[in-house]
Each structure stands twice: as structure tokens, then as C-alpha cells.
Amino acid sequence: MSRDDGGVDDDPPMKWNGWGDPEKARDLPLAVRTLLPLLLGRIRRPEPAVELDAVHISASALSAEDRAAFRAAVGAQHVDESAEARIRHAGGRSTPDLLRRRLVEQDVPDAVILPADHDEVRACLAVAVERGIAMIPHGGGTSVVGALDPERGSHHAVVSLDLRRLSGLIRLDERSGEAVLAAGTTGPDAEASLAAHGLELGHYPQSFRYATIGGFAAARSSGQNSAGHGRFDTMVTGIRVATPTGDIELGRSPGTAAGPDLIKVFLGSEGIFGVITEVRVRVHPVPHGRVLESWSFPDFAAGAEGLRLVAQQGGGPTVIRLSDEAETAVSLAQVGRIGKALAKGASVVTVYEGDDIAQRRARISALLAEAGGTSEGEGAAEEWLKGRFDGPYLRDALLDAGVFCETLETATTWSNLQALRSAVDSALKAGFADSGARSYVMCHVSHVYPTGASLYFTVLAGVRSDPLAVWEPVKSRVNDAIIATGGTISHHHAVGRDHAAWLAQEIGDTGIRILAAIKRELDPTGILNPGAVIPIERTH
């Protein structure tokens, strides 16, 4: 990458049972290790994680005929039944996913299939339909909602359809400001290809280094620069999809009234309707100016009021994030500022990019000050920007130390924000308390709209028994609280299997019937990602 946004060239494959580059794994900072007993009490160190070559998996359920058919579709060298490949495609990167990766017995797909282009994807779908094999589309492997679980459903086998070979910039229309990217292109590769032309997409979720363009579309991703550039679904102007019953290519013009917008059907579909192979997106010139500023607020409520004023006026920073008192304290502790970490207060990070920064910054600073904010200079904002993609490494270190750590997110209106935050906080703490565990809940706002904002929670807990058994009822309790308090079951993590049981409460039974009807039309045998988004029993 040519910019200092954390992108790197040629990132190695992700750690098979953790996050990111194994060489970048880090120990817990001393200050955090010091704080943990104060927050969570005595912590029981877990058993060492199993080594990859010690994992027990079942033999592949593919028959010789199945294998031959896939080999004819993509080439023998691109049908991988090795234990390592199957284990590496056994799920995403949620905490439950990683805890299951630490076990000796693991459920895995029966093979990993690697098509090279749209036609080979279509050929793979035909094989799967003909032979009754479930197929899980796989991009960067960063899902945190169970979307990559190797679920067979009613089929005799399940394969992972790895799209990494569908990579690169396919077409660029500089005059129109549009680029067509292959679905398996990673965030860094997409930005590097565009930067060669002085352009960027500007979509930087925390999963940026590994997640893919197709994954961004399939999960309706929202990046850290959303205040300036919008969500990923607002960047998409066209899409190409292979489905079991036919291909579809959408996005003839920049605006249309030719019926409902079918592009939106596939944005957020998580591979249940078809396999996204190409995405057309709007791009813009690489911004040359960048100014950072951090702010402190008396509390979360004051900071949220500042963000509301900024969002409703418009034309604000490219990035604006509010951390509550608990998250601010842990962030300060990580950089060794223990004294300040123990003080009360929330914090806001702003990043301005573009050519009119001075005017925008002056206007936004006045609004933040009106809400009770105090400028703290660039320091905290610089620290955040430097480590903006590295948070999951800390999660791995916490798991190694025996601390349960998981994230979840939602969104609601400004008038309901405090009530929803309180409901989720209470559900998390009460849920862990029921299992005898102390917990510490942090929250931040990273995506704002004129009418409301997202809430992103991180919870630490000192779980002394099976953490998977403890987390399942806690997660259910939180999902119930989100729905009951008027939040969305997912703002940008998507639905997967983890949230599927709650989707009907958000979109209604008629909404589920509409999705199930689309599923039956495009995937009548139900081979694609069984149980994701729509519970299997609702697709028949």
C-alpha cells in the first residue's frame, strides 16, 4: 500500500486458530495484565490450544464421482481435501469460532474448491446441485456471526467455495468514477490497484487486511471511514452473481426506477441466494490532506450528543468515533497511561481527509465544544489510526490468558441510543453473573447517521467453566434485549447463523417469507449456506 492507513502488501495467510499474521501476535501489555484481576477477579488460565496436526477430523464425505466432477470444473489441483485446508475453512473469526479451533475434535468441510472465474463458479454450483452437496462461499474468512460454519443441512457433504483466485481490478472507468473488482480481491489489493491510478475506494473495516470485496457486499459491511464515504452498500453500483438457477448482472445506470432494486437483494445475502463474483463500486481520488484530533467528554452521553450534532449538520470528519468511559480507560491503559485510565470520561477520535479540512474542522470543533468536549490534540487519534486494524490480536492474547473476549453490535435512533446501550450492558453483565463470572463491558460508536448511530460492544469476562456453554445463553439474552429495546440485530456484522433465529422479529414473518421465496427460486435444492440468514426450516 502507498498510504499510511495500515494496509500492507502480501499479507500472509491468517493464523489457522486466531487472527491475522502469526508473526504479529502480541502479548498482553503489562498495564492490561495489571488491570484484569481488578476488573474480573482471579482468572483461570486455559489448557494450551491444540496444534493443527493434532486436530481430529472425519474423512471427507465426497465420493469418487463427486471429486471427479469438481476436478472437471476447476482442475484437480484446485480441489483440496487436505486436513490443513479443511481445518482452515472450518469457520470464521468470532470468539466461539476460535474457541472451537482450540479443541481436538472439529467439524470441517469435506473439501475446499477454488474456482478461477465466474464460469468456474457457475460450474461448481452445477456440480453441487446435481450431486446434492452443500456449498459455503468463502472470502477472507473473517465472518464473526457463524456464516462460514460447515453446515450440511440435508445434503450428504459440504464444501467450502474459496474465491481467492477471483482477484484483481477487472475494469476501471476513471471518467465515471467506477471500478469493477473481482469478488475475492482483498481490501489491501483493491486499494493498491486503485492507488496506481490515484484513486481509492476508502472502505476500511477492522477486517480490512483480510476481508474481500465480495465479502464486503455479502455482509453489507461498514468501514471505519463511513462518516466520510458511507457504508459499503452505498458504494456498490453494480454486481454480478452466479446462482444455481442462472446468472444475473445488475447495475445498468447510476439511477433507475425500473422496478425494485435487485442489487439490494444480494447485498447482505451472505451467499444464500448465489455467489457474488464481481462488484462494481464508485471510487474517488486519493485524498492528500489528513488531520487528526482527539477529544475528551465528561461522559458517554455528552459525547453522543456531540456526535448527533455533527451527523445532523453533515459535512463532517471522514472518521468520528466515540468510546465510552470503560473503553477509554482500557485504551489508555494499553499505552501505559494508568493514572488517566482510572479517571472518568469518554473520548472521541476524529480524522479529516480532503482539501477543505480547515473549514470543516472549525465547524465540527465548535459543535463538539458545544456538547461539552475538550480538544486533546492529535495523540489519542494517532494511536487509534496506528492500530486501527490490530484489535483482534489483543482478543487472541486475552483468550490465551483465560479471559473471554467477544464483540457484538447494533444500531438505533439518537433518541433510543442510551436506552439500548443500557439494555445491552445489563443483559451482558447479568448473563455472565448468572454463571458466576465477573464481566467488564465497553462500548463505542463508530458509525453515525442523521437519525441515529451504531453501538459496538466489547465484553471481557472471567469465565471459569466451559466458555462456549456460558456464552450461548448470554448471547441469546443480549439478542432478546436488542430486539425488545428497538435495536437492529446487526448493524454491520451481518446475520449468519448466530442471528438467524432473531431475524423474523426484526423484519416480520412476511419479510422471512419473501426471503425464503427468493431462496427457493434461486436455490431450490438449498445447497447454498444452509441455515445462514434464514433458519433451514423456514426455507422449505
- Write out the chain's pLDDT in tens, 540 residues: 333 343 434 567 899 999 999 988 888 888 888 889 989 998 888 888 899 999 999 999 999 999 999 999 999 999 999 999 999 999 999 999 999 999 999 999 999 999 999 999 999 999 999 999 999 999 999 999 999 999 999 999 999 999 999 999 999 999 999 999 999 999 999 999 999 999 999 999 999 999 999 999 999 999 999 999 999 999 999 999 999 999 999 999 999 999 999 999 999 999 999 999 999 999 999 998 999 999 999 999 999 999 999 999 988 999 999 999 999 988 877 765 544 545 569 999 999 999 889 999 999 999 999 999 999 999 999 999 999 999 999 999 999 999 999 999 999 999 999 999 999 999 999 999 999 999 999 999 999 999 999 999 999 999 989 999 999 999 999 999 999 999 999 999 999 999 999 999 999 999 999 999 999 999 999 999 999 999 988 887
Angle at 508 between CA 502 and CA 510, to 5 degrees: 130
Cell of 207: 477486517
Contact 353, 293 (CB under 8 A): no
Give me the DSSP letters along 451-520.
Answer: SEEEEEEEEEE---S-HHHHHHHHHHHHHHHHHHTT--S-SSS--TTTSHHHHHHHHHHHHHHHHHHHHH
Q: What are the residues facing 243 on neighbouring strands? A: 246
Q: Which residues contact 85 (CB under 8 A, 6 or more apart)?
A: 111, 112
Which DSSP helix (H) or strand (E) runs through 122?
Answer: helix 118-131
Three-class SS of residue 150? coil
pLDDT at 5: 41
H or E stretch at 112: strand 111-113
Helix (H), strand (E) counts: the chain:
19, 18
46-162 maps to which CATH number? 3.30.43.10
Which pLDDT score is estimated for 331? 85
Of residues 429, 453, 451, the one with CA closest to residue 441: 429
3-state SS, residue 161: strand
Contact in structure between 7 and 187 (CB atoms under 8 Å): yes
Spatial contact of 328 and 317, defined as CB atoms under 8 Å apart: no
Per CATH, is 169-251+259-285 categorized as 3.30.465.10? Answer: yes
Q: For residues 407 and 129, what is the distance between their CA atoms, to the nearest angstrom?
A: 36
Instruction: State the cell numbers at 319.
Output: 472518521
**Integer Cα distance of 389 and 208 in angstroms:** 7
Report d(CA 504, CA 517) in Å as an integer: 14
Three-state SS at 296:
strand
H or E element in which residue 241 lies: strand 236-243
What order do you get walking across the sheet with 246-250 strand by strand? 169-173, 178-182, 275-282, 236-243, 246-250
Q: How far apart are CA 329 and CA 341, in angstroms?
A: 4
Residue keyed to cell 472507468? 173
Look at residue 114 in the predicted model and tell me its pLDDT: 98
Cell of 83: 486436513
Between 3.40.50.1370, 3.40.462.40, 3.40.50.1010, 3.40.50.2300, what CATH number should domain 290-484 receive? 3.40.462.40
What sections of 197-316 are H helices per DSSP?
213-219, 226-229, 232-235, 263-266, 300-313
> Helix %, strand %, coil % for the chain, to 5?
40, 20, 40
Amino acid identity for residue 27 in this structure: D
Give me the pLDDT at residue 355, please.
Answer: 84
Q: How far apart are CA 55 and CA 87, in angstroms?
A: 8
**Residue 1 · residue 188 · CB < 8 Å:** yes
Whether residue 448 contacts residue 311, with contact meaning beta carbons closer than 8 Å, is answered with: yes
